[in-house]
């Protein structure tokens, strides 16, 4: 069974969501520890075979086909402070977040499977972000011109997908966001 909904927050942010119970089929090529990239893409591509590309529109950096058991680390994939084009695709990320956090405020979450902060030009697609302590996918302040599409985001203890205040021109489409404890998709905006 599928449910389809669209929510327009403003002229530059839209949400489209499909719901079902099956994650996308994944082809995992490597199991890796949590990934942390803070504007150091060149070093990451040089040192790790699971990251390719040059950061251009026609050749974005790509993190693809990896499995990350975060083992309670704050995030599975954290990317910050970049305007280069990149894509996270076909990854399986679980067990992120710090246990025993009791604050239900999503602004104070303890971690996410995928977290982006102050980034541009990102595509998060066809990933499985399940069973995390915080959110499945979280965009912190300063994210612009990004796409979240065709992800399976389920059974997270906080939000499925969370866009913090200060994120804009974000498209969320065709994601399966179900069975998250706090809320499915949270768009934080102050009046």
- Distance (Å, whole) CA 45 – CA 32: 14
184: Cβ–Cβ under 8 A, 6 or more apart, which residues? Answer: 17, 159, 160, 161, 177, 178
pLDDT in tens, 176-185: 999 999 889 9
Structure-token pair, residue 14: 């839209």
pLDDT in tens, 112-143: 999 999 999 999 999 999 999 889 999 998 99
User: CA end-to-end span of the chain, whole Å?
Assistant: 36
172: Cβ–Cβ under 8 A, 6 or more apart, which residues? Answer: 14, 15, 16, 17, 147, 148, 149, 161, 163, 185
User: What 3-state class would DSSP assign to 65?
Assistant: coil
Confidence (pLDDT) at 11: 36
- Distance (Å, whole) CA 96 – CA 115: 11
For the chain, give the percent of residues with pLDDT over 90: 63
| Of residues 10 and 23, more confidently modeled | 23
């Amino acid at each position: 069974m599928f449910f389809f909904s669209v929510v327009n927050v403003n002229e530059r942010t839209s949400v489209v969501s499909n719901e079902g119970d099956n994650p996308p089929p994944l082809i995992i090529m490597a199991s890796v520890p949590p990934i942390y990239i803070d504007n150091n893409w060149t070093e990451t591509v040089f040192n790790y075979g699971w990251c390719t590309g040059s950061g251009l529109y026609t050749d974005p950096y790509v993190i693809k086909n990896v499995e990350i058991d975060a083992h309670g680390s704050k995030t599975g994939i954290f990317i910050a402070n970049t305007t280069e084009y990149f894509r996270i695709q076909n990854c399986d990320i679980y067990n992120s977040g710090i246990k025993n956090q009791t604050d239900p405020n999503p602004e104070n979450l303890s971690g996410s499977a995928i977290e982006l902060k102050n980034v541009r030009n990102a595509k998060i697609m066809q990933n499985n972000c399940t069973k995390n302590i915080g959110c499945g996918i979280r965009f912190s302040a300063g994210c612009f011109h990004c796409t979240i599409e065709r992800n399976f985001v389920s059974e997270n203890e906080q939000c499925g997908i969370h866009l913090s205040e200060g994120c804009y021109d974000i498209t969320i489409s065709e994601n399966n966001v179900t069975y998250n404890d706090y809320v499915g998709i949270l768009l934080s905006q102050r009046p």
